[in-house]
Amino acid sequence: MCGRFTATFEFSDIRVRWNLDVIWRCIHSALTSPNIPVTVRQGGGNECRLMHWGLIPNWAQDPTIGNRMINARAESLTEKPAFKHLVGSRRCIIPADGFYEWRKQGKRKVPIWVYLTSRQPFGLAGLWDVWRKPDGGKVESFTIITTEPNELVRLVHNRMPVILPPKTKSMA
């Protein structure tokens, strides 16, 4: 389960990498918002949007469902009601430069920071949706897709986020 990740790089570094048309407003707003910058496909281009981490499906009655939907298992995406209709149309990239998994050491859990040896930013695969509040407002939210761990992460945890190949520039 990916419950924490880091994004300590300059977001200008990913503007070209992911062909982002709209990023500056998003990053400036992120400084004063609890939401997280996420890259989505919009109108033929990619743009950065601030979203709530923890998917709130558009059909949800209670937004607190998002607290339990920070991750989505890749193996069951097309089976789960909250995710199956998003797979083809609501994919996103979450910019990161590392994520944490916890290793049990006796009775304690110790955080282990996982990152690329190059220390370069990378993208985590995600899905997003829009939930309408009772007052008519909207909440855009996302979940991080997880998968079986690679050989290194397997030493620490039984799941890891899906890390997209470096050439991934869009969600289309």
The model's pTM: 0.86
Mean pLDDT of 117-121: 88
- Phi and psi at residue 113, to the nearest 5°: -85, 125
User: May I ask the CATH architecture of the domain 4-161?
Assistant: Alpha-Beta Complex (3.90)
Our CA angle for 48, 15, 113, nearest 5°, is 80
Name the catalytic one among 26, 47, 48, 101.
101
Domain boundaries, the chain: 4-161
88 three-class SS: coil
pLDDT at 83 over 90: yes
How far is it, in rounded angstroms, from Cα 99 to Cα 111?
A: 10
Find the helix or strand (DSSP H, E) in which 126 lies: strand 122-132
Q: Annotated catalytic, 47?
A: no
Name the catalytic one among 2, 26, 48, 92.
2
- Phi and psi at residue 76, to the nearest 5°: -120, 15
- Tens-digit pLDDT profile for residues 37-49: 898 988 777 888 8
**Structure-block tokens of residue 63:** 């937004």
Q: Annotated catalytic, 2?
A: yes
**CA nearest neighbour of 170 among 12, 50, 47, 74:** 47
- Tens-digit pLDDT profile for residues 12-64: 667 766 666 555 455 544 444 578 889 898 877 788 888 999 999 999 999 99
